[in-house]
Amino acid sequence: MLRLHGTPKSRNFRCIWAAEEAGLPYEIVPVGLGAPVKAPSHLKVNPNGKVPAMEDGELVLFESLAINLHIAAKAGAPLSPAGDDHSRVLQWTLWAATEVEPSAGQWAYNAYLRPPEERDPGQAAAGAAGVIARLDVLEGQLTAAHVVGPDFTIADLNLASVLFGAWSNRFDFGGHPRVKAWLDRCFDRPRALAARKLRDAA
């Protein structure tokens, strides 16, 4: 059984969703933010002092998107396709981490995560501009139902989960109808709804 460390309101949400899509049994180890992630017991599974982390037998991993690639590989196709599509999955997963997430985080911290008195409107605007630039790319690439063709893959899950905060907190997707429709499809999947229910209840 997978052991997924971190509250469902953290990036562990991504891993819970992946386990749901893969149909793999899992246990949530509810590690909160702040002092709990610095506890010696947690540092054994994530020496960065962050969440999530995963235990799968003797294997211990940190980094949510890497955990998800591992989970998908255990499930196989269509979640983790082979051949050239596998390379495309890696491309979009790394793009989510390196291109989308920094700007999405910059916007989120200054739009709704931090207390109002700590938000910087200029940083929020810069983050939003960065997100829009990446959405422009994605809008042009979404020529099928999903980012790697007709089937939902872990690339969709990884990229959509990085955009979950924007999708659920009133980011303006008005100029990107394909992206908005794709995100709606991803987050309305039955297994996504199951993970979202756990997140909302945490």
pLDDT in tens, 116-133: 999 999 999 999 999 999
Question: Which residue has better confidence, 38 or 2?
Answer: 2
Output the pTM of the full model: 0.96
- pLDDT value of residue 12: 98
Stretch 151-156: mean pLDDT, rounded?
98
pLDDT in tens, 16-52: 999 999 999 999 999 987 778 889 999 999 999 999 9
- pLDDT value of residue 59: 98
Q: Report all structural domains of the chain as residue ranges with CATH numbers, in order of start.
A: 2-77+193-201 (3.40.30.10), 83-189 (1.20.1050.10)
Q: What is the mean pLDDT of the chain?
A: 97
**Which secondary structure element, helix H or strand E, spans residue 26, and what is its range?**
strand 26-29
Under a CB-based contact definition with an 8 Å cutoff, are residues 2 and 27 in contact? Answer: yes
Instruction: List, in sequence order, every beta strand (DSSP E) within 45-196.
Output: 53-56, 59-62
